[in-house]
């Protein structure tokens, strides 16, 4: 009986930070505008992934992805951005996240030819910290029927528990994890 408390005392300080950080890193809610009326809502970043694409050799790169879950009964549109040396930003087109489903959103990529002799690709934690979400909107049915159905990159939703980064433009707000 005396050995078990001793083992627990040894492993508790090691496991506590890992277990505490796991769920927070795995599922992070981020603000998302609910239709055109701009009500506050959210989507969930379930996980961040790093994928190495080795073929074709000329286009070999390390890609950074975010898996987004939409808890709403309507589709959503998400646009990511990143400003990190060496990382190429993904095309500026919102990704559609189906209702009550998940979708993979490309954040950006690091060309592997850059890593030869210069630097290694950034870790997923660095990319997660440097990425922004300049646009997120849940498209309600009435918004899907009108001409405003096309997602626009203007006006981000104010962040809740996320850092808000202000760019040169007065209306350019970006949300950062």
DSSP assignment, residue 156? P
Residue 82 in this model has a pLDDT that exceeds 50: yes
Indicate the Cα dihedral angle 84, 170, 79, 146, nearest 10°: -170
Q: How confident is the model at residue 117 (pLDDT cuts 50, 70, 90)?
A: low
Residue 131 in this model has a pLDDT that exceeds 60: yes
29 or 176: which leads in pLDDT: 29
Query: What pLDDT, on a 0 to 100 scale, did the predictor assign at position 120?
Result: 83
Main-chain dihedrals φ then ψ at residue 43, nearest 5 degrees: -120, 175
Residue 12 in this model has a pLDDT that exceeds 90: no
Contact 63, 50 (CB under 8 A): yes
Contact 77, 97 (CB under 8 A): yes
Side-chain-side CA neighbours of residue 122 (13 Å): 21
Per the omega criterion (within 30 degrees of 0), is the bond before 24 cis?
no
Range with the poorest average pLDDT among 66-70, 87-91, 112-116:
112-116
Q: Can you tell me which residue has the tokens 């701009």? A: 38
CA angle (171, 97, 40) in 5-degree steps: 45
């Amino acid at each position: 009986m005396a050995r078990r408390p001793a083992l627990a005392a040894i492993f508790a300080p090691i496991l506590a930070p890992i277990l505490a950080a796991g769920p927070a890193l795995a599922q992070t809610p981020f603000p998302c505008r609910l239709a055109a009326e701009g009500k506050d809502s959210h989507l969930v970043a379930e996980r961040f992934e790093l994928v190495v694409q080795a073929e074709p050799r000329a286009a070999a790169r390390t890609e950074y992805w975010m898996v987004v879950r939409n808890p709403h009964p309507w589709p959503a549109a998400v646009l990511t951005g990143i400003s990190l040396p060496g990382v190429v930003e993904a095309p500026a087109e919102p990704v559609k996240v189906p209702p009550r489903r998940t979708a993979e959103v490309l954040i950006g990529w690091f060309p592997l030819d850059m890593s030869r002799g210069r630097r290694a690709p950034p870790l997923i934690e660095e990319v997660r910290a440097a990425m922004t979400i300049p646009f997120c909107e849940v498209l309600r049915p009435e918004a899907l029927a009108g001409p405003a159905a096309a997602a626009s990159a203007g006006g981000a939703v104010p962040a809740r528990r996320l850092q808000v980064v202000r760019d040169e433009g007065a209306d350019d707000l970006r949300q950062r994890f």
